[in-house]
A and B are shown apart, each in its own frame.
Chain A
């Protein structure tokens, strides 16, 4: 759809969308899921709740333009999850009680508190901040849904965490769900200077999941800024000492306790595996229906 529009000479238009389509950014062409697989249809109304408010749509600028995309089989497959609410049933994966048992609500002390995290805090007891688990649950559901949508669409998901305790755990999680991980020293320019770092024609991740947004010296991870620069949506577990502003889908929660980290890893892994299985199922169904329709 996006490529179709581009060929019509509307190159000047820039979209900033959530997880759907990535267009060229200041002349750099990054091969994205949408260009490799045929682009997703413009079903904004269903996904409206997930989109940031400052989006500009084609029909706003060109109200009389009739855009009739030709939907292929993959478009129909990709459209399926968009027609339902919570298509991957991520809300069944956890409850607020599970979050409490995994000590997700435990934040740092008042001195470490980040000003922008105050809306997500429930209270503080003896100067220890407590994160509001209702908000966490809602954000986590949204984040898992985005992850599932990306995995369903065949996108690349990159797990990032610079905590040495959980490096092995995160890498194993990534290996088990067939995605990618980066829990080591972040060389500057891995995204912004990708052609030099990796080689020509590399495909960058379509979603970056931060299981801890700080690096070893308690500063914001460089990858958050880099992902923002190259328009890659980010999901991040933000503790009470982290800055949630640049992260697309923040999930306020504890990132220090092993139990909490294991919970997050398990949740993300399950979601991604589910989404991929669903996709395989859909493709199988479609191919079977194709066969039967062609034979009959």
Chain B
């Protein structure tokens, strides 16, 4: 933590109620009509670093900011533009601290500020693994009694601890180089302890029982204390157990005397190479067995093949998960090649178990048509129920084998409900196709969508319900006619910059 002592301004901040200011870039401060004050570095030394020339500006009170105002003195030190071009540690958002946050802060807690993330330090945990790993994260500021601001004339001293943002090493994205030492077992242990203590603090703050404070309670509390409107859920402040945040690290690979446990440790990819070594050993074993059989003259003419069935090789990701080690695509291809080579050998059934361990069953490709069960009601009449959907309409139908040929939709007669012939044709088509027009009674209910989509939904429902009355071949005929295929077409969204989903605005030559 680097404590920058508060630099007092040369002149007092004039408080005319305009206490809200925003940190826009800052090099020199300027004065205008007495509304703003000028601050200089006490020694008026030339600015260091790459400065912007945009001045500070004190915004007017009552501006459209929903937050309470804090009378923060303008700290007269230079804000340097970092290589990334942002203006540094203190973004606009930081100064706009809501009352709720302030209440928490007023209890004497520090803030860790980095970008949009404000947490309850020093004990609680950070928003993302990247933040966690960033060894130059900003630490704390201590805000003293800053609740009543609007008319306060006394500038609140603000101690800032700011990040030294000069070295390129800190901007480096490849944290793997600096990373591993951070995630030692002791570090994780420390984080876990901090998390536990922070959880208790949080429970106390929220007035709840620290003993029975679950993860949902934590999430709820954090969402309350630090409301964030960010769309990206993973960018919102969160407080989770360190085990979930920090990536799984492998345990130390060597004993107290420094000798590694695995004989292939020095290759760097011990699990993968030991798998390859093992696999090659099995290939040699199978070859030796074949040679022995041949020598004895017992070599089988029709060797037993491994029953692969409907299985596939492990994917690269699955293999990585199995080995707990990252592998390159070339490594993966070598592995598959060697496995295939093992499979080409006649006596490979010796290693069936090993091969099947590295294969996964394929999920059922084809969706079998689920035939709704044929039920009997109290009157002894066969009936079946089915549902169907089309666009935003959902319909369900009960098909009864009465022999009347009546159709009821939502309690009304279908003639009244579907006044257009086209819709009625849609309803009748499945029955007409199967030649069962006058045989069934249909009791339909439908909701959502328009008339055409409701008709389509009901058509699908009727077709599905009819399956239970038909044989396999007739059902297959229905499928081939397309009666059992749900129509996947839905309304395409309108895109910005266009009039509709596809229609563009009128092109004007000039």
Which one of B253, B260, B273 contacts A184 once the chains associate, using CB atoms below 8 Å?
Answer: B273
Q: Which of A171-222 contact B (CB under 8 A)?
A: 171, 174-175, 178-182, 184, 187, 190, 196-203, 205
Question: Cβ of B265 < 8 Å from any Cβ of A?
Answer: yes
Partner among B258, B268, B280 whose Cβ is within 8 Å of the Cβ of A168? B280
- The yes or no answer to B322 lying at the interface (CB within 8 A) is no
- Interface of chain A, main secondary structure: loop
The listed residue (B258, B264, B268, B269) touching A203 by CB distance below 8 A is B258
Q: Is the CB of A199 within 8 A of B264?
A: no
CB distance B257 to A36 under 8 Å? yes
Q: Please tell me if B50 contacts chain A, counting CB pairs below 8 Å.
A: no
Q: Which residues of B contact A174 (CB under 8 A)?
A: 263
Q: In the assembled complex, how far is the CB of residue B265 from the closest CB belonging to chain A, in whole angstroms?
A: 6
Closest chain A residue, CB of each to CB of B273 = A184
Is the pair B180, A180 in contact by a Cβ cutoff of 8 Å?
no
B275 to chain A, nearest CB (A): 12
Among A37, A154, A205, point to the contact of B266 (Cβ < 8 A). Answer: A205
Q: How long is the Cα–Cα vector from A238 to B243 in the complex, in angstroms? A: 51
Whole-angstrom distance between the Cβ of B247 and the nearest chain A Cβ: 14
**A197-B268 Cα distance, complex, nearest whole Å:** 7
- Give residues 238-262 of A contacting B (CB, 8 Å): none
Residues of A within 8 A of B280 (CB): 167-168
Taking CB atoms, residues of chain A closer than 8 Å to B493 are none
Are B258 and A182 interface neighbours, CB within 8 A? no
Say yes or no for A31: interface residue by CB 8 A criterion. yes
Chain A residues closer than 8 Å to B177, beta-carbon distance: 196
Complex CA gap A190/B252 in Å reads 17
Give the total of A residues in contact with B, Cβ under 8 Å: 28
Chain A residues with Cβ below 8 Å from B277 are 168, 171
Instruction: Establish whether residues B259 and A203, one from each chain, have CB atoms under 8 Å apart when the complex forms.
Output: yes
Per the bound structure, the CA–CA distance linking A154 and B258 in Å amounts to 10
- Minimum distance in angstroms from B406 CB to a CB of chain A: 78
Q: How far is it, in angstroms, between the C-alpha of A182 and the C-alpha of B180 when the chains are bound? A: 23
A168-B281, A171-B263, A179-B263 known; A36+B258 contact, CB < 8 A: yes
Q: Is the CB of B284 within 8 A of A203?
A: no
What's the nearest-Cβ distance from chain B to residue A151, in Å?
Answer: 12
B344 within 8 A of A: no
By a CB distance below 8 angstroms, the chain A residues around B180 are 199-200
Answer whether residue A90 sits at the interface, using C-beta atoms and an 8 A cutoff. no
B residues lining the A interface (CB < 8 Å): 176-177, 180-181, 252-254, 257-260, 263-269, 273, 277, 280-281, 284
> 12 pairs across A/B with beta carbons < 8 Å?
A36-B258, A168-B281, A171-B264, A171-B277, A181-B264, A184-B267, A187-B268, A190-B266, A190-B268, A200-B180, A203-B258, A203-B260
Q: Which residues of A contact B (CB under 8 A)?
A: 31, 36-37, 154, 156, 158, 167-168, 171, 174-175, 178-182, 184, 187, 190, 196-203, 205
